[in-house]
Chain A
Amino acid sequence: MAPKAQKQKSSDGNKKTKQRKTKQTLPDREETEPANMENIGHPEIYPLVLTTQTQEIFNCRIDEDVTDGKPYKLIKKEDILADFKNRAAVSDFYPVKKVIQEYPGDELLVVYDKDFRYGLNFYLIGTEEGKENYLNYPEVPEEHEEYKEYIPEDLYIYRPPISKPWVSLGSEKEIDEESVKESAKQITYMISRKRREFGTPIKFRDQNASSVKDAYIECTAYSDKNFIIKQLEKDVGMQVVPNVKDTSTQTKWTYPQNVAIQYYPREFSEEEKEIFGQSKPLINFLNNASISVEIALQQNEIMNTFIDDWKNLAEEEGTFEDKTDTHLKEYQSFTDLHNLAETMVTSVSWHPTIYGLIAVSVAVRLSFEDRVHFSGKLLLQPSLILFWSFSDPIHPQLMLESPDDIFCFKFCPSDPNIIAGGCINGQIVLWDITAHADRIENIKTGGSSSKKVTLKPMFLLEPDSNKEVMYIRHCAVSSIENGHKKVITDIHWLSDTFEINRMGSVFENRNGICCQLVTCSADCTICFWDIRPQKALTPQPVEKKKEESIEIPYDVPSTFLHLDLSWKPFTKIKLSKGETSLDHCPTRVSLSEDNFLYKTQDKVSAQSKAVKTGEIHPYQSLEGGFGNNLKPIEDFCTKFFVGTEEGEVIYTDWKMERDPDTGRMMAKKPVNLYTVHDGAVHTVQRSPFYKDIILTIGGWNLAIWKEGVTTGPLLQSCCAPKRYTAGHWSLTRPGVFYIGREDGYIDIWDLLEKTHEPSQSQNICITMITCIKPWTFSAKQQFIAIADYYGTLHILEIPWTLSHPSANEVSGTSHYFEREVKYLEYVEQRKKIREQEKKEMDLELEKKKSKIGHCLFFCTLTNAD
């Protein structure tokens, strides 16, 4: 049916174009186009009404030309066209005029429609193909077309489609209905903006939709009753169960507990104790137990079984320095550069409490004749005791003035601000530097400003403005007539534990401070002095005192004002040699209680003693008088050692005794006298460790004595190559002492190492050493001050080996001394034995002599050595 479709299409196309134009053209279409059976699928069939006249014209009269057997009639197209001309609109073919005109063939087929199938009695087939089809298939009814369709299926002959003009079959109506057409005209909006606003940033802002009218349209939900269904029935299942819950807690079970508190110890009363004492079981128990207890006690007494021998074998550990270093190291040296005269140092003393302070007494280096010669000049120069401090080697801190050269001086042990010195003229001088105590105590702060140690020439040397060297005048001197007549060679403060009266008896010292001195001088006397004001034994006229009162300068303290120039010793002991007029000339004295100077750790107790009487300085308020109420000390050893200028060591007593002949008080005869040394004894010193061991040095040798051993010295050295001029025990090592020689060497003796010669020798200076004084500041620092003949004071540091004793040194040294004592005893015994032997030998000789002749030859001398 393709060609038909094509034709349809073309006619449809015509229709469509007509449709697009206007809707109103529809009825026009119907006028021009003949109605066809398009709507039943046969667009080529055009129903016609042929009248009888028409039938006659064309020879298609019903039942004559067109019968049932041949219902069609081919009519020529020209006849129809002629008909049109003849009858025009009356012609029956007028409705299909166009079709006829367009009919390509010559003959048209008209078919008699007997049954009026197509509505009219005749129909025209407008297409050649339809004609063909009808002719070929004379059974025209549509039902038969189906059969016809079957038959060609057996032999399908492909007929290429012939394009036919589109025949409208009513499909354009459907398309029209289905197509979307704009019902309303489209509205166009044109929005324009100002040119300058192009591209500007857009600012958006919020706006509440409800605030602006018609900003939004909402469809509010509402409950439409039409759509509400109420549930009138509900199916619910239930189960009834008991509500059970499981919980648990833990509680603390507090249970009562017995607690007892004892706040005082249980004790027995006295009666109960008594009862116990009586009880038999206790006695038995004690008897049994005491046996084993006593065994145990004795075991401990016999031997200490728990000694760690290994540990005891070891030496003390913890050395800070090289142990092999045994030399004294030079630390500092002090020389007085102000003094123009050539001076020598006569005595050195460390300050007992202040670190780094040392006092030196200097004297002019002249012999006796020269002194006499220059006596006028010497008077002008002040004699000084200089105080040197480690912090300032150029300027002495203090200078104590004295009327004449000091040959010995000592700090008072109870109060380091009191210094007593012995002059060359026999006077004792006392200083009180309490006022300047703070100056010397705070030396470090003042000395830091003058750290420069550049040596300037002497005329440029000036004391710093803030550090004026103070000349401190003495505050008391002894009486010239009553004191010593010659140079005082030694001065000592007596210990503060006892005091002596005129008889030499010893009493207890209630003051707690040192108040007595002992001096010995070249005028062969030993004097005891008391610094307390004496009660006037002889009434002196008052006027005389007034005349004698001299005006005292304001800066001199008045501590010893009572003593000034009127000070007398209360006891004098003359060391006479008996019948001869020559007396012993003591150079050094050593009392039994003399070693308090070495005890540096006692300084605290000394200070506390000094401040015992509250704020008042004890020396300011000395009460005079002798022991009226003082208790005498019994069993006090009043003997002491004296070294003389001839080299003798005397052991004598200071207690006076009544001479039976004259009734006067006289000194006792010396107990012992030893001539040991070759020169003047310059050192008589007790060991700091043993109270009864004394070292005496003089001339070219030294000797060690033990008090109580009268046979002789424990040790006497052989002659040294050089003369010994100074000596001192070591403060920390019991077997060590230092000896200074006249050539500036120091000999260090160690008794545990060698006893025949010094263990070490070290050169200190070029000239004679005049004084040696060691001092301990701490466990690590020990210094030794060595003064020489040229006025220089050298401070050296003692190395570890010399300052620290080994573990058994004390016991070793004491054993050594004991051995020496035993040796002396043995020697004594041997002497006796030898004497005995000698006697026997003599006797034998006598016997043998009595025999005649040849017996002499056969005498053999037995040498029982």
Chain B
Amino acid sequence: MAEVEETLKRIQSHKGVVGTMVVNAEGIPIRTTLDNSTTVQYSGLLHQLTMKAKSTVRDIDPQNDLTFLRIRSKKHEIMVAPDKEYLLIVIQNPCE
């Protein structure tokens, strides 16, 4: 328990990080640092996108698998680390 919190806190303390959340395989948030509505929105959308990205990578090469997904937008960068059962989503503001 403490480990989980500690890891999340460490990630959150990086420069420019807006929010961190852990989502399960179905897209239901487990841990989050943002408010509920934003979390739900991010988790639902990114979960679908990660599934799509994963299937895309797999379709091209069945031996391949998705390891990391980074989406850079004008304002933020969203980083998704997928796993079999969980999803770690971090939102960072990279511009200084």
Q: Residues of A at under 8 Å CB distance from B?
A: 265-268, 273-274, 276-278, 281-283, 285-290, 292-294, 296-298, 300-301, 304, 306
Given A268-B28, A290-B88, A292-B68, A297–B4 Cβ distance below 8 Å? no
CB–CB A281/B40 < 8 A: no
B61 at the interface (CB under 8 A from A): no
9 A-B pairs within 8 Å (CB atoms) are namely A267-B40, A276-B31, A277-B31, A281-B86, A287-B3, A288-B83, A296-B90, A297-B79, A301-B15
Among B44, B86, B92, the one with the most A-chain Cβ atoms within 10 Å of its Cβ is B86
Give the docked Cα–Cα distance between A555 and B79 (Å): 69
Least Cβ distance of B30 to chain A in Å? 5
Q: Which residue of B lies closest to A289 (CB)?
A: B81
B24 at the interface (CB under 8 A from A): yes
Residues in A neighbouring B14, C-beta threshold 8 A: 294, 297-298, 301
8 more A-B contacts (CB under 8 A) besides A267-B28, A289-B86, A297-B90?
A266-B27, A267-B40, A282-B85, A286-B3, A289-B81, A293-B11, A300-B94, A301-B16
Given A293-B11, A293-B88, A304–B30 Cβ distance below 8 Å? no
Interface pairs A-B: 4 shortest CB-CB: A289-B81, A300-B94, A265-B40, A289-B88
Give the docked Cα–Cα distance between A298 and B94 (Å): 10
Q: Which of B59-96 contact A (CB under 8 A)?
A: 67-68, 70, 72, 77, 79, 81, 83, 85-86, 88, 90, 92, 94-96
B29 at the interface (CB under 8 A from A): yes
Residues in B neighbouring A288, C-beta threshold 8 A: 83
Residues in A neighbouring B15, C-beta threshold 8 A: 297, 301
CB–CB B85/A281 < 8 A: yes
Interface size classification for chain B = 35 or more
Give the docked Cα–Cα distance between A226 and B21 (Å): 117
Q: Is the interface of A mostly helix, strand, loop or mixed?
A: helix
- Residue of A278, A285, A294 touching B11 (CB-CB under 8 A): A294
Among B5, B15, B30, the one with the most A-chain Cβ atoms within 10 Å of its Cβ is B30
- Residue of B22, B67, B90 touching A282 (CB-CB under 8 A): B22
Residues in B neighbouring A287, C-beta threshold 8 A: 3, 7
Q: Residues of B at under 8 Å CB distance from A?
A: 1, 3-5, 7-8, 10-11, 14-17, 22, 24, 26-31, 36, 40, 44, 67-68, 70, 72, 77, 79, 81, 83, 85-86, 88, 90, 92, 94-96
CB–CB A300/B92 < 8 A: yes
CB–CB B30/A282 < 8 A: yes
Given A267-B28, A306-B72, A293–B85 Cβ distance below 8 Å? no
CB–CB A304/B17 < 8 A: no
CB–CB B26/A297 < 8 A: no
Residues in A neighbouring B92, C-beta threshold 8 A: 297, 300
Q: Which residue of A lies closest to B10 (CB)?
A: A290
Give the docked Cα–Cα distance between A304 and B77 (Å): 11
CB–CB B44/A265 < 8 A: yes
Residues in A neighbouring B17, C-beta threshold 8 A: 297
Give the docked Cα–Cα distance between A266 and B23 (Å): 12
CB–CB B77/A290 < 8 A: no
Give the docked Cα–Cα distance between A285 and B85 (Å): 9
Give the docked Cα–Cα distance between A282 and B22 (Å): 9
CB–CB B88/A296 < 8 A: no
Given A273-B31, A277-B4, A300–B77 Cβ distance below 8 Å? yes
Q: Which residue of A lies closest to B79 (CB)?
A: A296
Q: Which residue of A lies closest to B2 (CB)?
A: A277
Given A277-B4, A285-B83, A285-B88, A296–B68 Cβ distance below 8 Å? yes
Residues in B neighbouring A273, C-beta threshold 8 A: 30-31
Among A287, A289, A292, the one with the most B-chain Cβ atoms within 10 Å of its Cβ is A289
Give the docked Cα–Cα distance between A281 and B84 (Å): 10
Least Cβ distance of B74 to chain A in Å? 10
Give the docked Cα–Cα distance between A304 and B1 (Å): 35
Given A267-B40, A292-B81, A283–B3 Cβ distance below 8 Å? yes
Residues in A neighbouring B3, C-beta threshold 8 A: 283, 286-287
Give the docked Cα–Cα distance between A28 and B27 (Å): 151
CB–CB B29/A278 < 8 A: no
Give the docked Cα–Cα distance between A268 and B43 (Å): 13
Residues in A neighbouring B40, C-beta threshold 8 A: 265, 267
Give the docked Cα–Cα distance between A278 and B95 (Å): 36
Residues in B neighbouring A289, C-beta threshold 8 A: 81, 83, 86, 88
Give the docked Cα–Cα distance between A294 and B81 (Å): 11
Give the docked Cα–Cα distance between A304 and B90 (Å): 17
CB–CB B94/A290 < 8 A: no
Given A292-B81, A296-B70, A300-B94, A283–B16 Cβ distance below 8 Å? no
Residues in A neighbouring B86, C-beta threshold 8 A: 281-282, 285-286, 289
Residues in A neighbouring B90, C-beta threshold 8 A: 293, 296-297
Q: Which residue of B lies closest to A296 (CB)?
A: B79
Give the docked Cα–Cα distance between A281 and B31 (Å): 14
